[in-house]
Amino acid sequence: MKILFLVPKFSGGGAEFVARQWMEYLSAQGEEVIVATTNLKKDDPRPDDIRVESVAGSAVTSVRRLRALIARERPDVVMALMPYWNLLAVTATRGLRPRPRVIISGRNMATHLRGSFGLSYRIKQTLARWTYRWADEFVAISHPVAGEAIALYRLAPEKVSVVLNPSLKADTDQIARVVDDEKPLALVAPARLVHQKRPHLLIETAAACRDRHGMEVEAHFFGVGPLSDQIAELAAERGVTAHLHGWTANWSESLPPNAIVVLPSLSEGFGNVLVEAARVGVPSVVTSRALGVADAIVPGVTGVLVAGDSPAEFADGVLEAASIAPTSYQGWLDTFTKERSGEALRRRIHSLVNAG
């Protein structure tokens, strides 16, 4: 079977990582995989043994180039990830004969982000409500994302499926977390330093842990972004020791003792870092208001879901998470491997194509 993926590039975000994992798995299973990109850079890592074609340009140019590529290659399936590329895929395949099956993908809670990304995002959402129904299948990153898509885009439930992320970048063998009673509690935010991720809440949570519960706490950020200076200033103002480590792909293997992951994001379609934290035995605290995280955490086992998103509620969640005893949840972790996720996607693709 020939499958054409449509992505911006191969690095820079969770969707790009997931797409690469899926491409590599499908190719290893003998599927013919081609990738169309719109923003590929020279130094961007490319999947081994997978052909890459550029369809870069304006939206009109990208649609024209993608349509020509599809007409030439005649793939059985076109799969896109993220809103803009979803729109390119459904538009470029309209009226083609023969027409490939079109699979689009949802990676976040769309309604949460209306106030974060401005006019261009709202335009894409408006177009999505008109065009997503043209797709043959909507693959969601989590069950909350699937439920929102059915309501928001008026999709038939039978055209929506959930394929959980291949979140784990390394071997799934669980690693015990390091506990040192002589050192402070380490609150860790593995996220970009941008408004959507609300990194300031980590500093406020650390202060609340100190003031409400008498904990000795430090804040650790594994991420980069335009709010770096603001975070450093807020930490100094609140008297919180903060470490800005920058981003590293292996952040979960570079954690300080007594680590607890705190993810204060406004919205998460899933939360890959929550699964990565569980792999190394580190509990997480995240707000239920992010919605998409419900598939990425087992409350009371791998971490804590707090009902609200105030620093006090996060601090209470940290106190609870610190008391969670390490346990074995290898079977749950195996759900998020490249093999399990990739095979789930492969079966959906084959079912869709074989249905005629």
Confidence band for 260, pLDDT divided at 50, 70 and 90? very high
Average pLDDT for residues 82-87, to the nearest whole number? 94
Q: Which domains does the chain have, with CATH numbers?
A: 2-166+337-354 (3.40.50.2000), 185-333 (3.40.50.2000)
Rounded distance between C-alpha atoms, residue 199 and residue 197, angstroms:
6
As a whole number, the mean pLDDT across the chain is 91
Q: Give residues with Cβ within 8 angstroms of 231, minimum separation 6.
A: 193, 199, 200, 203, 221, 242, 244
Torsional sign, CA 309, 250, 270, 120:
positive
- Please tell me which residue, 179 or 152, carries the higher pLDDT value: 152
- Give tens-digit pLDDT for 217-229: 999 999 999 999 9
H helix intervals, the chain: 14-28, 59-73, 83-92, 118-131, 143-152, 200-213, 228-238, 272-279, 311-322, 330-334, 338-354
Residue 259 pLDDT exceeds 70 = yes
Residue 170 has what pLDDT? 59
Residue 330 pLDDT exceeds 90 = no
Residue 316 pLDDT exceeds 60 = yes
Q: Give residues with Cβ within 8 angstroms of 171, minimum separation 6.
A: none
Weakest-pLDDT range from 10-19, 36-45, 52-61, 264-273: 10-19
**What is the number of helices (H) and of strands (E) in the chain?**
11, 13
Q: Give residues with Cβ within 8 angstroms of 319, minimum separation 6.
A: 209, 213, 215
Residue 175: which of 286, 250, 263 has the closest Cα?
A: 250
Helix (H, G, I), strand (E, B) or coil at 181: coil
Residue 41 has what pLDDT? 82
